Amino acid sequence: MNPPLEELKRRFAAFVAGFAKGSDQDLYNIRLKEQHSLRVLDQAQGITRACGFDLETAYLTHAAALFHDAGRFPQYAEYKTFSDADSENHARLGVRTLLRSDLLRGLSKKARRVIIGAVALHNVHRLPADLNPTLDKVTRVVRDSDKLDIIPVILEHLGGDRPLNPVVVLGLEDDAERYSPEILAQVMRRELAEYRLMRWANDFRLLLISWVYDLNHAWARRALLERGLLDRLFQGLPGDRAVSALRDQVNQDLKALIQGRTLA
Ligand SMILES: [Fe+2]
């Protein structure tokens, strides 16, 4: 019998407590990832309920959501950054962390395999096509849940009058009027924008907008629309013609996708 989710949450809290040390800024950053993990679990529960997952698959999904960023804690402890480019891939680090810690103690072999697989795949640019069906299902929910939660966090850090927290916005340059045209072009082509091309804070807004094309579940797309996240992302961008054209396209596409239509 797999331990109940409540037990996994207790273990996670104890695991995080082991990393909560250092300056106020360090504690803030650790807490940010802890709360993110719990909110990603919330989102995942919304999706599994809406999609009518069976109990076992729902359990695996919830555990994977809770643990998806386990690698963030050792990553920050060692490198003081959440930038994978400046440290190491936090998903792979997460897998190593799960294997070493007691977080998955007492779970069946199958459960461990699916959860570890979903953690490993939660941040890949494109999911492999031939995944085991359960792993595929679980991973897609974790990826949508992760995206839904991280958008407001980044928005909050991009929007204020305080200087950008370099750990959260990955050291981007803050200039209200500038963005990288190649990132805008990627989103216009309905592609997932690439982190490595980002230079300006506005590029991060564009990258988050490109997630419209990478969400897997109607529940998540609807949440993006209903929570006003897309509007807030566009509000931060300059109002030039290219951005307005993108805004029209993305809004139309999102509504079409929610209604289950395929994009032309
Ligand atoms: Fe992550």
Return the amino acid letter for 229.
Answer: L
Residue 145 CA to residue 140 CA, distance in Å, equals 9
- What residue type is assigned to position 7 of the chain? E
- Quote the mean pLDDT of the chain: 93
Rounded to the nearest 10°, the torsion over CA 228, 150, 205, 194 is: -140
Distance 153 CA to ligand 1 centre (A): 13
Residues 6+ apart with CB under 8 A from 41: 9, 62, 65, 66, 145
Find the range with the poorest average confidence among 25-29, 78-82, 194-198, 240-244.
Answer: 194-198
Q: How far apart are CA 256 and CA 264, in angstroms?
A: 10
Question: What separation in Å is there between the alpha carbon of 97 and the centre of ligand 1?
Answer: 13
Write b or e for each residue in 184-210: b if 16 or more Cβ atoms lie within 10 A of its Cβ, otherwise e. Answer: bebbbeeeebebeebbbbbbbbbbbbb
Cα 239 to ligand 1 centre (Å): 31
Distance CA(7)–CA(85), nearest Å, equals: 33
Ligand 1 center to 245 CA (angstroms): 31
Cα 219 from chain centroid?
15
Percent of the chain past pLDDT 70, that is, above it, reads: 95
What one-letter code names the amino acid at 41?
Answer: L
Q: How far apart are CA 195 and CA 220, in angstroms?
A: 22
Give the whole-angstrom CA distance, residue 206 versus residue 199. 11
117-to-99, 126, 129, 131, 243 alpha-carbon distances in Å = 12, 14, 14, 10, 37
| Tokens read off for 73 | 């804690």
In order of start, what are the domains of the chain with their CATH numbers? Answer: 5-142 (1.10.3210), 172-258 (no CATH)
Q: Which residue has the higher pLDDT, 151 or 162?
A: 151
Q: Nearest CA to 205 among 239, 163, 253, 241?
A: 239
User: In this predicted structure, what is the pLDDT of residue 44?
Assistant: 98
pLDDT digits (tens, 9 = 90+) for 66-78: 999 999 999 999 9
Q: What is the pLDDT of residues 126-144, one digit of tens each?
A: 899 999 999 999 999 999 9
In this prediction, residue 163 has a pLDDT band, given cuts at 50, 70 and 90, of low
Q: What is the pLDDT of residue 85?
A: 86
Query: Per-residue confidence at 188, pLDDT binned at 50, 70, 90?
Result: very high
For residue 170, pLDDT beyond 70: no
Predicted pLDDT of residue 1: 87
How many A from CA of 122 to the centre of ligand 1? 7
Compute, in angstroms, the gap from residue 187 CA to the centroid of ligand 1: 22
What pLDDT does residue 164 have?
64
